Amino acid sequence: MRVLVIRRSSIIPYKNSRHEGTFRTIILVDEEGTKIQATLFNKHNETWKDSLKPNKSYYIAKGWLDSVNPNYSSVHKEVELPFTDNTITQETARNLICVLVSVNPLIQNANSKRREIVVTTQIMEHTIVTLLGDFAENDGAFLEKLQDDKPLLALCDVRVSIYKGQFGISTIPVRSVLINPMFQKVNDLRAWSEIIEANNKDITITPTKVMRRAIEVTLANILDGLFADSEDCMYKFKATIEDILNKDEPWYSSCKKCHKKVRFIKDTAACNNCNSQNVEYEMRYCLRLEVCDGERHARVILFEAAKYILGCSMQEYIESSLVKKEECYYYRKLVLSKAKQFDFLVRIDMNDSNPQHSLIAEEIHQAEDEAPIIVDAKVKSVRMYEERAKKNKKEQPKSNKRNKKPIESRCIF
């Protein structure tokens, strides 16, 4: 089985009438999201002291499942995973076939360079991929130029991780990315992407799997700190937008390195976080909303999540609203979102002792939005994918989007 380690306890001594020694508990989650608890006793703590580390993925073989001891708590109701002398573990790397959604700016300091890109798959599972080192700087910049064309990627030798409740992927020393490669799985994904486009769906703003699977609660539950001790940190709630507090300028001036707000000294941008008096900056979304679910009110801030309402990048929004803002399609779309009900996905910070302040939404979707298109698993033939895509394109009116230039296959190492 392949699992991700999400928690590892310290080594705890025990003593009873029959035995004494030490043990450690490890919480694992499999690819279906099922959690199971593993227990290491005595010498096994030494055996796996350098393995089974949090945020890393492993294959586990020659293990066995045992019934849960009713005298002790466990994350699974029925079974747990004791380790034995025969149990084998091996850290995994994985390959991912995906569509490029967006590329974030390079973040660097004196010791490191990294860049995050967002990709998606046929189940609309948006995943953050972190590129490291020169790979982030050079080849990340190349991907940034291609992001509007939504190229298909094969990410090779990447490692699964989890941070603040969200799954992510990072590159490891053997790093390679194939751009628009030609093999069967990519052809399947390409045909699926054409179907999505033919149905006028934008893969960058469709509800993600995190949104679809998040537990729905009330606004009062969140504001009253009901989930302070919960292991789950992503929740969604329904609320109506009562007011858009900064509809005329839904952005802020952001440092390109750290994304923190900059201050201006004459014509120069200074960043306190980077301790620099002259930094490059850009405009980034910061949309502030007043919302109500019928009983409670709250302020919600949307950073990158503002694109789910507006449907465009920050740069595109500014450029399209420069001349006559009232005639701008995206501005009108923002204004018309008032008095409509939306689903908000928010992250609960368990270290935050004051949940009454503004909530930060990771995603937002109009409540009556349709679920994303999921291609029937039985439809496996590329030919059938392509025929369906062509048929849908004929039935749809011509789009005013710019034509995409074909991109040749390319491999980055």
For the stretch 232-256, pLDDT in tens is: 577 899 999 999 999 999 999 999 8
The reported pLDDT for the residue numbered 82 is: 83
- Which residues, at least 6 apart from 382, have a Cβ–Cβ distance to it below 8 Å? 184, 187, 188, 191
The reported pLDDT for the residue numbered 172 is: 54
Q: Cα separation of 345 and 366, whole Å? A: 12
Give me the half-sphere count of Cα atoms (radius 13 Å) on the Cβ side of residue 234.
18
Pick the residue with more confidence: 380 or 271?
271
Kindly list the distances between the CA atom of residue 178 and the CA atoms of 99, 152, 154, 223, 409, in Å, as whole numbers in the listed order: 12, 8, 5, 45, 7
DSSP single-letter state for residue 391:
H
Strand duo 79-82 + 113-120: pairing:
unpaired
List beta partners, residue 227: none
233-236: which pairs have CB atoms within 8 A and are 24 or more residues apart? 233/164, 233/165, 233/347, 233/348, 233/349, 233/350, 234/165, 234/166, 234/210, 234/345, 234/346, 234/347, 234/348, 234/362, 235/345, 235/346, 235/348, 236/211, 236/343, 236/344, 236/345, 236/346
pLDDT in tens, 321-379: 887 888 899 999 999 999 999 999 998 764 554 445 679 999 999 986 544 444 444 44
The answer, yes or no, to whether residue 64 has pLDDT greater than 80, is: no
The answer, yes or no, to whether residue 289 has pLDDT greater than 80, is: yes
Percent pLDDT > 90 in the chain is 25
List the structure tokens of 261: 């707000």
The reported pLDDT for the residue numbered 374 is: 46
CB burial of residue 212 (10 Å; 0-12, 13-18, 19+): middle
Q: How confident is the model at residue 106 (pLDDT cuts 50, 70, 90)?
A: confident
What the chain holds in terms of domains, given with CATH numbers, is 2-91 (2.40.50.140), 94-203+402-412 (2.40.50.140), 209-250+286-366 (2.40.50.140)
Kindly list the distances between the CA atom of residue 166 and the CA atoms of 74, 233, 343, in Å, as whole numbers in the listed order: 22, 9, 19
The answer, yes or no, to whether residue 381 has pLDDT greater than 60, is: no
Amino acid (one-letter) located at 150: K
Buried b (16+ CB within 10 A) or exposed e, 83-112: beeebebeeeeeeebbbbbbbbbbbeeeee
pTM of the model: 0.60
The reported pLDDT for the residue numbered 410 is: 53
The reported pLDDT for the residue numbered 380 is: 41
Q: Cα separation of 375 and 124, whole Å? A: 11
The reported pLDDT for the residue numbered 132 is: 84
Q: How confident is the model at residue 160 (pLDDT cuts 50, 70, 90)?
A: low
The reported pLDDT for the residue numbered 405 is: 46
pLDDT in tens, 384-411: 444 544 555 455 444 444 444 444 455 5
User: Mean pLDDT over all residues of the chain?
Assistant: 79
- Positive/negative CA dihedral, 223, 224, 228, 233: negative
The reported pLDDT for the residue numbered 377 is: 44
Average pLDDT over residues 101-126: 82
Pick from 42-56, 175-189, 295-309 the range whose average pLDDT is largest. 295-309
The reported pLDDT for the residue numbered 379 is: 40
Q: Is 131 helix (H, G, I), strand (E, B) or coil?
A: strand
